[in-house]
Amino acid sequence: MTESAAIELSEDDLDNVSGGLGISFGDVNSFAQKSGNFFSQKNLSVGQMTFAGPNGSGTISQVDFQQIDSGAFQDIAIG
């Protein structure tokens, strides 16, 4: 039976075991990384109301429109 002792992990150790991606390419001449994101939102409301008189006619209309565009990217170049 093997005995185990509890140890406290350093910040670097925690970074290594928490997931992600680690890559080693050896002799690399260049490395470039670019990332970005965008968000756009448009709201449009159109209303209409018409009434006439005595005890006749009427119109009520309401249209609401919402458009949302979003995205993100990341580019990595290694040479």
Return the pLDDT at 59. Answer: 95
Q: Which residues contact 66 (CB under 8 A, 6 or more apart)?
A: 41, 42, 43, 44
Which of 37, 51, 39, 46 lies closest to 65, judged by CA? 46
**What tens digit of pLDDT does each residue of 40-52 get?**
999 999 999 999 9
More confident: 61 or 25: 61
Label residue 71 by pLDDT band (50, 70, 90): very high
- Domain regions of the chain by residue span: 40-71
Return the pLDDT at 44. Answer: 94
Measured distance CA(21)–CA(9) in Å, rounded: 19
